[in-house]
Structure 1
Amino acid sequence: MRRRATTRVSAAAVLVAVSASLLVGCGPGGPDTIAPFVAETVPADARGVVVAAQADDLVLCEGWGSADETGDVAFGCDTVVDVMSMTKQFTAAAVLRLQMLGELDVSDPIGTYLDAVPEDKQGITIEHLLTHTSGLVDGLGDDYDPVGRDDLIDAAMDSVLQSTPGTSYAYSNLGYGLLAAIIEIASGTGYEQFLAEHLFGPAGMTSTGYVLPDWSRLDVAVEFDDEGNPRGRPIDHPWAEDGPYWNLRGNGGLLSTARDMFRWHLALRGDDVLDDAAKAQLFEPRVREEPDDTYYGYGWVITDHDDEPVAWHNGGNSHAYGELARTPDGSAMLFWTTTQAASRDGWTFEDLGPELTDGILQRLL
Structure 2
Amino acid sequence: MVPVLLVVLVGALACSPVPPPPDSVGDYLERTLPEGFGGTVLAGRDGDITYCEGVGLADRAAGVPTTCDTVYDVMSITKQFTAAAVLKLEMMGRLRVSDPISVHLGPVPADKAAITVHHLLAHTSGLVEGLGDDYDVMSREDLLAETLASRLVSTPGAEFHYSNVGYSVLAAIVEKVSGLGYERFLARYLFTPAGMRRTGYVLPRWSPEQVAVEYDEAGVSQGRPYEHPWAADGPYWNLRGNGGMLSTARDMFRWHHALAGDVVLSPAAKRKLFTPHTRIPGRDEWYAYGWAILETEQGKVAWHNGGNSWSLANYARALPDGATTFWVSNQAYGEDWNLEDLELDLTRGILRRA
For the aligned pair, the TM-score class normalised by the smaller chain equals over 0.9
Native 8 Å contact 2:68 2:249 kept in 1: yes
Match of 1:29 in 2: 21
Native 8 Å contact 2:144 2:169 kept in 1: yes
1:327 Cα offset (Å): 2.4
Native 8 Å contact 1:7 1:314 kept in 2: no
Match of 2:2 in 1: 7
Match of 2:9 in 1: none
1:126-168 per-position Cα deviation (integer Å, ceiling 9, x unaligned)? 0000000000000111111111001001101000001110000
Native 8 Å contact 2:20 2:353 kept in 1: no
In 1: Cα distance, 2:98 partner to 2:62 partner = 50
In 1: Cα distance, 2:204 partner to 2:31 partner = 35
Match of 2:186 in 1: 195
Amino acid at match of 1:238: P
Native 8 Å contact 1:85 1:251 kept in 2: yes
Match of 2:318 in 1: 327
| SS in structure 2 of the partner of residue 99 of structure 1 | helix
| SS in structure 1 of the partner of residue 293 of structure 2 | strand
Amino acid at match of 2:21: G
Q: Normalising to structure 1: TM-score of the pair? A: 0.91
Match of 1:22 in 2: none
- Indicate the RMSD between aligned Cα atoms, in angstroms: 1.5
Question: In structure 2, which of residues 325, 342, 350 is the aligned counterpart of residue 352 of structure 1?
Answer: 342
Match of 2:64 in 1: 73
Native 8 Å contact 1:268 1:330 kept in 2: no
Question: In structure 1, which of residues 223, 229, 232 is the aligned counterpart of residue 220 of structure 2?
Answer: 229
In 2: Cα distance, 1:122 partner to 1:321 partner = 36
Question: In structure 1, which of residues 78, 90, 106 is the aligned counterpart of residue 81 of structure 2?
Answer: 90
1:253 partnered with 2:244: yes
Native 8 Å contact 2:40 2:249 kept in 1: yes
1:37-60 per-position Cα deviation (integer Å, ceiling 9, x unaligned)? 111110122100011111111110
1:70 Cα offset (Å): 1.9
Question: In structure 1, which of residues 226, 238, 242 is the aligned counterpart of residue 233 of structure 2?
Answer: 242
1:182 partnered with 2:173: yes
Amino acid at match of 2:2: T
1:262-297 per-position Cα deviation (integer Å, ceiling 9, x unaligned)? 111111111110011111110011111010110000
Native 8 Å contact 1:303 1:310 kept in 2: yes
| SS in structure 2 of the partner of residue 67 of structure 1 | strand
Question: In structure 1, which of residues 268, 271, 283 is the aligned counterpart of residue 262 of structure 2?
Answer: 271
1:330 Cα offset (Å): 6.6
Match of 1:169 in 2: 160
**Identity of counterpart residues, as a percentage?**
55
Question: In structure 2, which of residues 47, 53, 61 is the aligned counterpart of residue 62 of structure 1?
Answer: 53
What 5-or-longer segments of structure 2 have no aligned partner? 7-18
In 2: Cα distance, 1:330 partner to 1:202 partner = 24
In 1: Cα distance, 2:233 partner to 2:321 partner = 33
Aligned positions, number: 342
In 2: Cα distance, 1:329 partner to 1:92 partner = 22
Q: Structure 2 vs 1, CA of residues 71 and 299 (structure 1 numbering), >3 Å: closer, same or farther?
A: same
1:339 partnered with 2:330: yes
| SS in structure 1 of the partner of residue 295 of structure 2 | strand
1:296-346 per-position Cα deviation (integer Å, ceiling 9, x unaligned)? 0000000134341100101000100010000235711110000101111x1
Native 8 Å contact 2:5 2:306 kept in 1: no
Native 8 Å contact 2:90 2:96 kept in 1: yes
Native 8 Å contact 2:214 2:330 kept in 1: yes
Match of 2:279 in 1: 288
Native 8 Å contact 1:9 1:317 kept in 2: no
Match of 2:211 in 1: 220
Match of 1:206 in 2: 197
Match of 1:301 in 2: 292
1:65 Cα offset (Å): 0.2
In 2: Cα distance, 1:176 partner to 1:225 partner = 27
1:215 Cα offset (Å): 1.4
| SS in structure 1 of the partner of residue 65 of structure 2 | coil
1:165-187 per-position Cα deviation (integer Å, ceiling 9, x unaligned)? 00000000000000000000111
Amino acid at match of 2:158: T
In 1: Cα distance, 2:353 partner to 2:36 partner = 24
